[in-house]
Amino acid sequence: MARDGLKRKSTPATTLPSRRAKPSASERTRINDPDRTRADILDVATQEFSEKGLSGARMDEIAERTRTSKRMIYYYFESKEGLYRAVIEECYRRIRNIESTFDVEHKPPLEALAEHVRFTFDYQLANPDFVRLVMVENIHHANHIAQLSEIQQAEMSDIDPLRRIIQRGVEEGVIRKDVTPIDVHMSISALSFFNVANRATFSTIFKIDMTSPAATAARRESVTQMIIKAVAV
């Protein structure tokens, strides 16, 4: 006997099969823009390797921070070591690409050299990840750089703008003839590198703030003048 006043519940529409959700914007980007995906992985991996080194960096963390999967990272870079080598190569490629845009032909040699020194100092100050990665690779005795192809190594070691500055300086009689591009490059790198790599210990030991604008500006000009006086006739 049916009960008056009671309504039979209808079947909820949600029980019907639903269509598959469309990929999110980030997922579509990864599928349709592999170059951007690769660049995103390199950016995050640069931070991870510079902060934790090769052994301490975790692929799970890199995958999570790029909102991708370890499988996709391995697809692009084959292994953790392959990703690390790609990071090192990219860091050198960036600074060499910027150096290649220097207008070294239309400025007096010593003025062009001073500009080059200031650029190197500023670049390393603004990119501490690069400094730390170079330190990590030196801990590994440059084993991973050695595994890159000769072409890749040649691109990383290209200091042609500095070479042209020195050559013109020698020809014009304002730079000593015994000056070599690699030696000057080493001195510029060492002075600029130290300012970043050792600022924490120096600031603590000598009770000075090496990161203040005044200290940075003074050190920048000190490094520039050291290099200029060291090579000038």
The DSSP code for 174 is S
Q: Where are the domains of the chain?
A: 27-78, 90-231
For 109, the token pair is 């040699």
108's CB contacts (< 8 A; 6+ apart) are 172, 174
Question: What is the CATH number that goes with domain 90-231?
Answer: 1.10.357.10
**For position 54, what pLDDT does the model report?**
95
- Residues of the chain short of pLDDT 70, as ranges, are 1-32
- For 7-63, how does the pLDDT look when each residue is reduced to its tens digit (9 = 90+)? 444 444 433 333 334 444 444 555 567 888 999 999 999 999 999 999 999 999 999
**For position 202, what pLDDT does the model report?**
93
Number of neighbours of residue 92 by Cβ within 10 angstroms: 20
Spatial distance between the Cα atoms of 32 and 35, rounded to a whole number of angstroms = 9
Q: Which parts of the chain fold into alpha helices (H)?
A: 25-32, 34-56, 59-65, 70-77, 80-99, 109-126, 128-139, 143-146, 150-156, 160-171, 181-197, 199-205, 213-231
**For position 40, what pLDDT does the model report?**
94
Q: Which residue has the tokens 């008056």?
A: 4
**For position 100, what pLDDT does the model report?**
86
Spatial distance between the Cα atoms of 180 and 230, rounded to a whole number of angstroms = 12
* Total length of the chain: 233
Three-class SS state of 84: helix
**For position 31, what pLDDT does the model report?**
55
**For position 30, what pLDDT does the model report?**
53
Is pTM beyond 0.95 here?
no
Identity of the residue numbered 182: I
Spatial distance between the Cα atoms of 188 and 118, rounded to a whole number of angstroms = 9
**For position 151, what pLDDT does the model report?**
85
Question: What is the CATH number that goes with domain 27-78?
Answer: 1.10.10.60
Strand partners for 232? 175
Spatial distance between the Cα atoms of 36 and 75, rounded to a whole number of angstroms = 14
